[in-house]
Amino acid sequence: MQSALYTGISGLNANMSNLSVIGNNISNVNTVGFKGSRVTFGDVLSQTLSGGSGTNQIGLGVVMSSIQKVFSQGAFESTGNALDLAVNGSGFYMVGDPTLGSRYYTRAGQFSTDKDGYITNPEGLRLQGYAANTTGVLQNTVTDLQLNTKTINPNPTGSAVLNANLDSNADITGFVFTSGTNDNARFSIDGGTTWLTASMVTDGGLSSGGGATGAETAAALKSALQAVAGNGDTYTVNFDDQTGLFSVTNDTGNAGTLVLDWGNGVSTSASLLGFSASSGSLAAGATNTGSAAAGAFDLDNAGDTSNFSVPVTVYDSLGNDHVATLYFRKDSLSATGNTWEWFGVVDGTDSTSGNTEIQAQGTVTFNTSGALYSESGVTYPTGGFNFTGGAAQNQAITFDFGTSITQGGTGLDATTQYGTASGVSILTQDGYSSGTLQRIGIDQDGIIRGIFSNGRDLTLGQVLLADFASPTNLASSGMNLYEETYDSGQPLIGTAGTSGMGLVQSSTLELSNVDLAREFVNMITAQRGFQASSKIITTTDELLAELVNLKR
């Protein structure tokens, strides 16, 4: 009979402990990252009656077996603060005590930075992970994470990638006849000598100091031939803008034979227009075509001697931006494809010399399918890019038009030469100016990125997670912190999203996983259990009283 009293007492104690755990859960319903607990009970065996059968055993009540942490996922709350972190899945944040050197583990991700730039929780413990060096390369040592990079140094442009389409129907340009510069073009017709000068241009519109394209020069040459002949004969002079060749025809029906001599000692007609020094005699209806006009890109007439241009913003060693204009000129036709020249021109306001200069140039060649076949290396007529403002001189900038991509077999992102209008599809370069830290962002894999005022981002560190073989056996240390125990096993440290680790969610907090409805139900059952156990004691007491009264 007395054992019944102790059975009731064990019920009181067990249910009171259960109420204490339930009360702790309910009181932490608003604690960020809190994980609720539950009580497990076990019965106590008192004695086995004769026979040894399992049906002849009497229990002595109940005992609290253990208090288990429930590490189920809590709900998420969006905060807008990048340093508020939640773990979506398994794992704990690692925080270290800078004074004692001890390490704790937590699911509460309310972090901020202290005066030294360390990422800390409200208790001043420092968040741990991989730090990054000044170039953004992560180091493989777990340490306290510190955000001490406030500025990013400028980076001079070293390479630029340009993918475009160059119109295959573009003219071969580049012939410019400039009065007072290259007008030493003299020819003889039937012994009469004349100069092809500005004063003889009636259709090309040449004026002193001006320029004329191939078509305009052809018109001027025709006018000059007519003026020199003076016999009523007519001549046709053409410039083929697809081949860059001049041709002279003694029209059908003319009375005389056209005899052209491009020599006369000082004349530049032969090289300028692509003819030999003596072109022989042309009967009526005959045509003489030059081999190749002396056309080229002319810096003073860039628009007339190029087919397409692209301005590219580049940066010098001080982070100053400059504009280098790339001019593309269709240079030659071939049965196996076409070749284009390109010229990197820097305006006088950006050039150290104060003059507009070609500071880089090269060629690109296409096959008959319009795909980029090859590109030459970059040559630097001035030794490199020389920008004003005190920056380093002879800056080398390579230009990639996509040959490496076409060699891979696709060519989808490489420069092409198709029969459509010229245009740019991709234009990037690796330079940038200096910048100051504006904000930070944290990826799902824990990478901390700094976003700077120059639009660049830099890796500042990486948050690591730790998991345990038996997280329920971690020791609670208060303030949402846990410590490793022998039964929990050693921490398994890794990056988020790998080896079963959860993901890091920035600007988010994990709320308590306590279910109030369930806790209230558990409270009722614990209360009823306590009341029932007390009834065992009062009932047993009444039985004892009756037993004592037997002596009366």
Q: Which DSSP string do the residues of 161-175 spell out, in sequence order?
A: EEEEE--TT------
Minimal CA–CA distance to 306: which of 332, 273, 329? 329
3-state helix, strand, coil in the chain (%, to 5): 20, 40, 45
* C-alpha–C-alpha distance, residues 457 and 468, integer Å: 34
The pLDDT tens digits of the residues spanning 261-305 come to: 776 656 667 777 778 777 778 888 999 888 877 677 888 888 888
Beta strands per DSSP E along 339-498: 339-346, 357-366, 372-375, 398-400, 423-429, 435-442, 447-452, 457-467, 475-478, 481-483, 492-495
In this predicted structure, what is the pLDDT of residue 2? 72
* C-alpha–C-alpha distance, residues 310 and 162, integer Å: 9
Q: What is the dihedral of CA 380, 381, 382, 387, to 10 degrees?
A: -60
Of all residues in the chain, what percent carry a pLDDT higher than 70? 88
Mean pLDDT, residues 45-73 taken together: 78
Query: Quick one: tokens of 127?
Result: 């968040």
Task: Sort strands 37-48 and 492-495 into parallel, antiparallel or unpaired.
Answer: unpaired
Write down the mean pLDDT value for the chain: 87
Total H helices, total E strands in the chain: 5, 36
Query: Quick one: tokens of 142?
Result: 């777990």
Of all residues in the chain, what percent carry a pLDDT higher than 90? 59
pLDDT of residue 426 exceeding 70, the answer is yes
Q: Report whether 36 contacts 482 (CB < 8 A).
A: no
Q: What is the dihedral of CA 100, 97, 476, 127, to 10 degrees?
A: -160
The pLDDT tens digits of the residues spanning 470-518 come to: 999 999 999 999 999 999 999 999 999 999 999 999 999 999 999 999 9
Report domain extents, the chain.
Answer: 2-72+514-551, 79-153+436-510, 159-170+297-429, 177-289
Minimal CA–CA distance to 164: which of 266, 309, 65, 20? 309
**What's the CATH architecture for 159-170+297-429?**
Sandwich (2.60)
Mean pLDDT, residues 83-99 taken together: 96
* C-alpha–C-alpha distance, residues 106 and 504, integer Å: 13
Q: Report whether 502 contacts 465 (CB < 8 A).
A: yes
- Which of the four pLDDT bands, split at 50, 70 and 90, describes residue 35? very high
Query: Residues 377-408, buried b or exposed e (16+ Cβ, 10 A)?
Result: ebebebebbbbbeebeeebebebbbbbebbee
The pTM of this model reads 0.69
